[in-house]
Structure 1
């Protein structure tokens, strides 16, 4: 069968007179098949005409995605940095308490050391708590200090982060084994 003969017998599109090509009028099922093919060709033409639009969309969205990733990284860094600073403040407070001679002086030194360590590190605590367990400050004993700080994250609410986070850290420090228990402050020497 030649191409001309094939065209003469092929059903035409729906609504055309296929008898003039030499064929019989198209049946309803043949019209449905042809209309599906036409729809597929229409979608294919639309798809081909839309080439390159994904690259343009990615180019426009890339700066926004990068900005969002940088914002997430900054919030995560702030949280990790604050946690490390609170941990460092607990260690400094435990060390300051362990070198004191009395329990009340150790508690005061621990609170002062924790507050100054956090202030020097730039951590702004909404509330700061320091709990000190001196154990009597006996030589060879340990001093345990727990520091907690409530940090403000209200500027990161868009990411679903809580507006406040309570961070805490505990540190232990040994009391010097060879330190003197009593101190002679009366003088009386030469």
Structure 2
């Protein structure tokens, strides 16, 4: 009985030609996923910074403007290049009476261009969104429209 010996020259090249593109694609997906996770973490940090800045403001209008400014600055400092940014600030907490707990909530949305995250030329974009809250000091005075010192204290504060 005779056995044939098969010539396996060139099989390594064929395996490399099949396996290498799959490996490169896999590594590219890992890099894109990691960069997307970093971008999401940066958007969360921007939302937290904006919520904190809003919570130490004295009134709702100032809180809204401060939160928007802080979110933009935080994203710029972290070098996150958003195609578009949207900041939504819930300032209803400023209408809560002093002595009751209240939180300011900020939502930051950032539309990222996918070509910035991984291999250039990948089409499309993705919205990364984060919402964070920060408490307003329970006993701090909150300026609101129509604020009036109660009559019982008017003589102390010089209002009548």
How far apart are 1:65 and its partner, in Å?
4.3
- Where is the strand percentage greater, Structure 1 or Structure 2? 2
Match of 2:140 in 1: 179
Which structure: larger Rg? Answer: 1
- Where is the helix percentage greater, Structure 1 or Structure 2? 1
**Does residue 135 of the first structure (1) align with residue 96 of the second (2)?**
no
How far apart are 1:54 and its partner, in Å?
3.0
TM-score (norm 2): 0.72
Residue pair 1:155, 1:163 contacting (<8 A) in 2 also: no
**Structure 2, gaps ≥5 residues long:** 144-160
Match of 1:79 in 2: 36
In structure 2, relative to structure 1, the CA distance for the partners of 1:134 and 1:77 (3 Å cut) is same
Among 163, 166, 175, the alignment partner of 2:127 is 166
Higher relative contact order (CA 8 A, sep 6+): 2
TM-score (norm 1): 0.61
Residue pair 1:156, 1:163 contacting (<8 A) in 2 also: no
Among 55, 67, 72, the alignment partner of 1:98 is 55
Deviates more, 1:48-57 or 1:73-82: 48-57
How many residues matched? 136
Match of 1:148 in 2: 109
Q: What secondary structure, in the 3-state scheme, does the structure 1 residue paired with 2:140 have?
A: coil
**Structure 1, gaps ≥5 residues long:** 1-40, 183-190
Alignment of 1:1-190 (within 5 A): 45=4, 48-59=5-16, 63-137=20-94, 138=96, 139=98, 140-154=101-115, 163-181=124-142
Residue pair 1:149, 1:168 contacting (<8 A) in 2 also: yes
